Structure 1
């Protein structure tokens, strides 16, 4: 049995299941332990109900986190360190696209914090648990980027 941690594993919006949710259910059906991370408690409850329906409640876990917040990422990393000796795969599927600029309570532009900073924090913060696995994997599932050039001197788009 392997341990999978999947951000965005509770499902997409607009009636879609989401790649993370589909993968989480598949891994659970194959007998693995699965931790899904999401920012919706109700979607987390639905995920756990789906696991119970598969008779896999003991291998299914939900952790509530807003990945746009550094503090939530750090709390998540601590919880995963406390709960698991090894992580075989970290699957980064969480995505929340915004068309307008939003600054988090911690002062980061939300898309930057969610899509980039969070993935950096989780990948490095869980390195020890990943290295404990025989063949660890980090899978970054990303969506298409925006049009235009990268503003290397303004990654959080504070000036434009």
Structure 2
């Protein structure tokens, strides 16, 4: 399955200007395999694919426990123009992480191409009193996504 995802991703990025030479293509392949295999690890160990950078998220998924945030993130992660942070960062809701600064936060984001959307998911932001103001201070036009799970009717 991972091979198919890597192949599809390379095919799509190749049409958008990824390196075409054999050596460069092999390096890109190695980089993409690292990207797909390190979903649960810290991003600092990754090799930077050519033409990518770490950016603060364009979108943050917030919500409640068992509210479908992980399922939504995994569904979005299938799209080739979306990259997702590997873990819940807890930057805006935990003071001990927030004091580390925006550069530390960015270092936890995946490498992405200019045309890709970076998404982070931390449900804890939904219940944190300080998270809304901190998120707004970072980027007042960031998109927040809150999955809603239907409540079954009791009969």
Q: Could you tell me the TM-score, scaled by structure 1's length?
A: 0.36
- The one of the two structures with greater contact order (alpha-carbon pairs below 8 A, sep at least 6) is 2
TM-score scaled by length of structure 2:
0.37
Structure showing greater Rg: 2
